[in-house]
Amino acid sequence: MQDETKRMIAFVVIAGLLMLAYQMFVLDPQAKVAQAAHQRAVAEQAATAVSAPAGPPQPNLSRPQALSVGPRVRIDTPSLRGSLALRGARLDDLYLKNYHELPDKRSPEVELLRPEGMANAYFAEQGWLAANLPGVPTPTTQWTLTSGDTLSPGHPVVLTFAAPGGLSFTRRIEIDAQSMFTVTDTVANLGASPVSLAPYVSVQRQGLPKGLAQSNIVHEGAIGVLGLDGPQLRLSSYKDWKKKSEIDWTSKGGWFGVTDKYWMTAFIPAQSETIDAKARVTTDQATGIDIYETTYSSKSRAIAPGAQITEVSHLFAGAKTVPVLNAYGAALGAPRFGDAVDWGNLWFLTKPIFSLLEFFYQHVGNFGVAILMLTIVIRLITFPLANKGFEMGVKMKKIQPELQALQKRLKDDPTAQQKEMMALYAREKVNPITGCIPILFQIPVFYSLTKLFTVTIEMRHAPFFGWIHDLSAPDPTTFLNLFGLIPWDPATTPAIGGLLAVGGMLGFLHVGVWPLLYGASMWLSQSMTPQTGIDPTQQLIFKFMPIMFTFILAQYAVGLLIYWTWSSLITILQQYVMMRRFKVDNPIDDFFARFSAKPGTPG
């Protein structure tokens, strides 16, 4: 029974490895090809629409052209820069000052929002809904700036619009030093009849964003925490979003918007407010571009003649930095706002692991060093379990000669062989399954760390030492140019650059220093672990696993490789101590014995 169980464990590990390889070398490249085909189709449709003699403006304007369509209010904070369009009072021009496209601080700042008229327009707006009520401001309404000239912390701006029917609209916009806009709308009824208005907000994206991850690891698309019976995280990827066309939720409070891998634009209503939220997709008939929109509206407000109402909402537009999200969630009562980061199904592991990593970073100032410290803590927590597993593995290695002799002697009698093996295990107090526990424990840890290094912005462009300038990206070195000794970058060669780039069809050939270090440490650790109870074919596969993992993990964030390499070194040390304790031969002592042997001496 124990051999069967171990065979099952071996099968699970090998199957998981094959699935990982299939994801990396088949599904991900196919997704990239599909994305490129979609973008080409959209471009062709847009080009066809541009040649049409009539229709709405096409998304072919440059940024200066789009920004010059109408007057604007400048935005300048320690974190953000851009402008607000007076046409529609729309937030549609925003850059993140503290984040750049490349690790080089001289590279362009990350663009978050862009105005309509440009390709891939992305903006946020809000207003009022009213049935059969003329004069209510629309996305094309021209507002008037009546107070302030630059929106910055402590310096709000005030916009006004007077409707023909006697309604007066006033919008006060404030911003803090981080990423939160506070919008206070006041509507005064100066007419002779009562009116009813319902506030609404909208985040709209025209076309799929550039650089869409196309991966199951990262959620990008509609996101929010909504629900009448309690806050529930609502996620809809762009693919599901378009498939369903429109998704409806009713909620009391919460928040709703659009998220990218690292950035988000989301509205937060008053938490006592009941809202009707929708995630919908429409297709522009002139251009063929899909328009993705998250929107919600509240109940109608009745305004008597001579009376006025005020509505306050908040808009987050910025980087999904965990401490900032948590602080906003606490200050505004926005439930689970920190879950804007895609922690995954194993959030109960990913969250505390990240919190510990962040704690170490605050004390050492380097996320790479924090990773090394995190590794030690995780190994200390799992030490009793892992130590028991290693101890059992060493005992298995110690009885290997006796076990092999038994298997050879009873090779023609499987029943007797099994009985004698069980007696041997009982006599030596050995349980082979216990030795597999450390391997099984690594599976959820691997998933959680993969999530952490993929979705947390704190890892993005975080340096370590030497050539590592971005812990969230693969190791930039490669053996194809002898790790930089040859002045040639394969990625810049037109004929093969796309194939050899990380994530390309031949991206697995992009193997750097850290993947090689990990492969070597995995091989040494594996050579110190006995492999019993599995057939020769499975043993052969296990022997090739270090090589396979070297190429596969070369595609992953280098921060993950630093963790696993350091963890493997700790494992090797633990195995070495255990093998010396039980007086079992090990590869390290054998190596030094051969190295120190005098010429002519046996061994």
DSSP for 540-593, please give it.
Answer: HHHHHHHHHHHHHHTTS-HHHHHHHHHHHHHHHHHHHHHHHHTT---HHHHHHH
- Give the mean model confidence (pLDDT) for residues 440-469: 87
* Range in 349-353, 405-409, 456-460 the model is least confident about: 405-409
**Residue 390 located in a structural domain:** yes
Query: Do 287 and 416 fall within a single domain?
Result: no
Spatial separation of the C-alpha atoms in residues 603 and 601, rounded to whole Å: 6
Task: Check whether 492 has a pLDDT greater than 70.
Answer: no
Residues 355 and 266 in one domain: no
Residues 331 and 265 in one domain: yes
- pLDDT computed for residue 395 by the predictor: 73
Going by pLDDT thresholds of 50, 70 and 90, the confidence category of residue 48 is very low
- Predicted confidence at residue 18, as pLDDT, reads 53
Tokens of 335: 């439930």
- Among residues 288, 305, 338, the one where a domain terminates is 338
- Does residue 35 lie in a domain region? no
Q: How confident is the model at residue 336 (pLDDT cuts 50, 70, 90)?
A: very high
Residue type, 384: P
- The count of domains in the chain is 2
Q: Which residues contact 165 (CB under 8 A, 6 or more apart)?
A: 133, 134, 135, 191, 195
- Per-residue pLDDT averaged across 553-565, rounded? 89
Same domain, 235 and 132: yes
Domain endpoint, select from 288, 317, 338 = 338
- Give the range of the structural domain holding residue 213, as residue numbers without chain letter: 59-338
Provide the pLDDT for residue 16: 54
pLDDT at 386: 73
Say how many Å lie between the first and final Cα of the chain, rounded: 40
Predicted pLDDT at 527: 77
The answer to the question of residue 139 being in a domain is yes
Sign of the alpha-carbon torsion through 270, 274, 279, 282: negative
Confidence at residue 13, expressed as pLDDT on a 0 to 100 scale: 53
Distance CA 232, CA 519 (A): 42
For 22-44, what is the mean pLDDT? 44
Look at residue 267 and tell me if it is in a domain.
yes
Q: Are strands 72-76 and 150-151 parallel, antiparallel or unpaired?
A: parallel
Asked if 123 and 230 sit in the same domain, the reply is: yes
In a domain, 3, yes or no: no
Give every CB contact of residue 179 below 8 A, 6+ residues apart in sequence: 79, 80, 316, 317, 318, 319, 324
pLDDT at 19 over 60: no
Are 296 and 437 in a shared domain?
no
Give the whole-number percent of the chain exceeding pLDDT 70: 78
Query: Is the pLDDT score of 222 beyond 80?
Result: yes
Do 328 and 361 share a domain, yes or no?
Answer: no
**300 plus 171 within the same structural domain:** yes
Average pLDDT over every residue of 529-535: 57
In a domain, 67, yes or no: yes
Same-domain check for residues 244 and 392 = no
Query: What's the confidence (pLDDT) of residue 316?
Result: 98
Q: What is the pLDDT of residue 525?
A: 82
Of 338, 369, 391, which residue sits at a domain end? 338
Q: What is the mean pLDDT of residues 573-600?
A: 69
Q: So what's the pLDDT on residue 432?
A: 65
Residues 409 and 528 in one domain: yes
Query: Confidence band (pLDDT; 50, 70, 90) for 21?
Result: low
Does residue 191 sit in the same domain as residue 269? Answer: yes
Report pLDDT for 300.
92
Beta bridge partners of 83: 74, 93
How many alpha carbons lie under 13 Å from residue 428 in its C-beta half-sphere? Answer: 21
Q: Say whether both 371 and 308 belong to one domain.
A: no
Mean pLDDT of 456-471: 90
Over residues 61-75, mean pLDDT: 94
Strands 180-189 and 255-259: unpaired
Q: Is residue 499 part of a domain?
A: no
Residue 58 confidence (pLDDT)? 63
* 568 domain residue, yes or no: yes
Give me the CATH number covering residue 222: 2.70.98.90
CA distance 34 to 503: 14
